[in-house]
């Protein structure tokens, strides 16, 4: 969102962002209420501060944010403005749809995931029951009302079509990373690899959110099988609701071949993402078409091999086949994961050749410039972007 907002502002549009005053991992943090960053006007509204780690607290935080953000949006929005609604918190597109209808503005839904389907597939009890159908109807009302719905993958677009959203209201734009900011760093030049004592190791990494949508049992079982292989280390960089589960499993099973590091600052992402020789990405197969793991794009930017745990016909699996940049392992197949890790660790030349074949290509296909250009083309097609910027 920051990348898109900064580039739209740089082209002459007046851009506002409405956000929470909380930090992602620090609900007690208090960010400035008003701020201008690179010309973009940021408005941070009040909400409760229970945090992301308990469902009841998260729901209360969301409800309070819906109310305050809706009032802020009502105050800011004028006729013919373009309102881009993301999907965190879930269903924020519904109050955005109400405001755009009242103000004769235009709504674009930017769909990073699809709620309430994700919650239902993950077994969230109060969503799986009587609330599911009315929440889904409300979400679909917002999708139909929108001028455009931006899906982040073909599978997601297929699902939207199956829900009756007209094809002319769907635009597919991949997520991205800035290939100028995030680049491959060679192992012998990587300060973090040295700082973390990983020189000479074959590092199997997982970077980002350890969330409910991801499978970690397959990874942990593979780590158990490789616990005596001293040259292979599993590295988790990030946080999330599953982090304590993963740490607990490692303690109870004596997995001294697993290392944990917190989220790294943006300026160190090139080093951080380049530490692993291969990256693990996982997604519950039931969530295909509802989520596309965005960590894939960061891995592409640093030209590392991907081991995807999930549906071999899913969005990421198909990208790996197309770009020849990794392998897919079925969920629960720890033996297959161990075999793939051993094969690459024993012949790093295969790993290096695989990264050479896709590094620049994938950054070019899924990079920031190309994706921002797709956004601008969509705005121009739907809203006469050039005219808006001139005004």
pLDDT of 353: 60
- Which positions ≥6 away from 50 have C-beta within 8 Å? 27, 56, 57, 58, 60, 61
How far does CA 357 lie from the centroid of its chain?
24
pLDDT of 368: 84
pLDDT of 127: 84
Q: Is 272 or 51 the better-scoring residue by pLDDT? A: 272
Alpha helices in the chain (DSSP H): 2-10, 55-76, 93-103, 117-121, 125-128, 132-145, 154-162, 191-195, 217-225, 243-252, 269-274, 295-301, 315-323, 334-346, 348-366, 368-383, 385-390
In 3D space, the residue among 312, 123, 326, 316 whose CA is nearest the CA of residue 213 turns out to be: 123
pLDDT of 29: 80
What average pLDDT is seen over the chain? 90
Q: Count other C-beta atoms under 10 Å from residue 169's C-beta.
A: 18
pLDDT of 347: 77
Model pLDDT for residues 322-363, shown as the tens digit of each residue: 888 899 999 999 999 999 999 999 876 666 665 555 554 554
pLDDT at 223 over 50: yes
pLDDT of 363: 46
pLDDT at 158 over 60: yes
Q: What is the mean pLDDT of residues 110-128?
A: 91
Q: How far apart are CA 196 and CA 163, in angstroms?
A: 48
H or E element: which one contains 205? strand 202-209
Percentage of the chain lying above the pLDDT 90 cut: 71
pLDDT of 369: 85
pLDDT at 157 over 90: yes
pLDDT of 9: 87
Percentage of the chain lying above the pLDDT 70 cut: 91
Q: Please state which of the ranges 20-34, 124-138, 156-170, 334-348 shows the lowest mean pLDDT.
A: 20-34
Domains of the chain, with CATH numbers? Answer: 2-176+367-390 (3.40.50.2000), 187-366 (3.40.50.2000)
Model pLDDT for residues 41-89, shown as the tens digit of each residue: 999 999 988 876 666 778 888 899 999 999 999 999 999 999 999 998 8
pLDDT of 354: 58
pLDDT of 378: 94
What confidence category does residue 126 fall into, taking pLDDT thresholds of 50, 70 and 90?
confident
Model pLDDT for residues 226-246, shown as the tens digit of each residue: 999 999 999 999 999 899 999
pLDDT of 348: 67
pLDDT at 106 over 70: yes
Whole-model pTM? 0.89
Cα of first residue to Cα of last residue in the chain, in angstroms, is 23
pLDDT of 25: 67
pLDDT of 364: 44
């Amino acid at each position: 969102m920051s990348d898109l907002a900064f580039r739209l502002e740089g082209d002459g549009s007046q851009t506002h962002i409405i956000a929470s005053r909380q930090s992602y991992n620090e609900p007690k943090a208090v960010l400035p209420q008003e701020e201008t960053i690179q010309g973009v006007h940021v408005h941070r509204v009040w909400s409760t501060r229970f945090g992301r780690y308990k469902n009841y607290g998260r729901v209360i935080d969301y409800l309070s944010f819906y109310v305050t953000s809706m009032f802020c949006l009502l105050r800011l929005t004028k006729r013919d403005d373009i309102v881009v609604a993301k999907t965190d918190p879930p269903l924020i597109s519904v109050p955005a749809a109400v405001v755009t209808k009242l103000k004769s503005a235009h709504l674009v839904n930017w769909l990073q995931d699809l709620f309430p389907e994700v919650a239902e597939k993950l077994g969230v009890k109060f969503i799986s029951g009587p609330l599911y159908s009315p929440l889904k109807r409300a979400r679909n009302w917002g999708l139909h009302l929108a001028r455009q719905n931006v899906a982040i993958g073909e599978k997601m677009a297929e699902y939207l079509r199956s829900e009756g959203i007209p094809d002319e209201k769907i635009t597919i734009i991949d997520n991205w990373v800035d290939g100028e900011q995030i680049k491959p760093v060679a192992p012998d030049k990587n300060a973090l690899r040295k700082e973390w004592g990983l020189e000479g190791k074959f590092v199997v990494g997982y970077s980002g959110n350890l969330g409910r949508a991801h499978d970690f049992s397959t990874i942990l079982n593979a780590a158990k099988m490789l616990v005596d292989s001293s040259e292979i280390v599993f590295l988790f960089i990030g946080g999330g609701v599953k982090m304590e589960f993963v740490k607990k499993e490692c303690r109870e099973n004596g997995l001294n071949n697993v290392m944990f590091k917190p989220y790294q600052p943006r300026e160190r992402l090139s080093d951080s993402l380049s530490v692993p020789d291969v990256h693990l990405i996982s997604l519950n197969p039931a969530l295909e078409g509802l989520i596309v793991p965005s960590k894939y794009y960061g891995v592409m930017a640093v030209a590392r091999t991907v081991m995807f745990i999930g549906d071999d016909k899913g969005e990421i699996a198909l990208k790996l086949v197309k770009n020849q940049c990794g392998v897919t392992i079925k969920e629960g197949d720890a033996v297959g994961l161990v075999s793939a890790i051993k094969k690459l660790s024993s012949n790093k030349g295969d790993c290096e050749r695989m990264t050479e074949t896709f590094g620049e290509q994938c950054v070019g296909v899924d990079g920031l410039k190309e994706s921002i250009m797709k956004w601008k083309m969509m705005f121009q097609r739907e809203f006469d972007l050039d005219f808006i910027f001139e005004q």
